[in-house]
Structure 1
């Protein structure tokens, strides 16, 4: 049997809620210690100029083995 890593990252996918990810972490034996958010941008060309538009965010939880 292999040992679990002491830290693991859990990504919140588009079809998941934060509560579902936190429940998954608990089931696997991890406690959330850090939440990271990164914006997702899209480039849009308009009148010859490039605009950068935020279209969403990516949420990642870091879990520590309990």
Structure 2
């Protein structure tokens, strides 16, 4: 009985949620979508705090990570 419930638990962990239309979500987001989501907040922070240098430093770090 323990083996059966262990197998059932493993099968349940392997299942993914499906979205309407029968497709399975990939779990990743396109980099341009991520930039479009973050850009308005970055602009507000630049205006509020006047931290252009800090924003440029962070942007270069993100570009470096995306380049991997």
Higher-Rg member (1/2):
2
Q: TM-score, normalised by structure 1?
A: 0.32
Report the TM-score when normalising by structure 2. Answer: 0.32
The structure where helix makes up a greater share of residues is 2
The structure with more strand, counted as a fraction of residues: 1
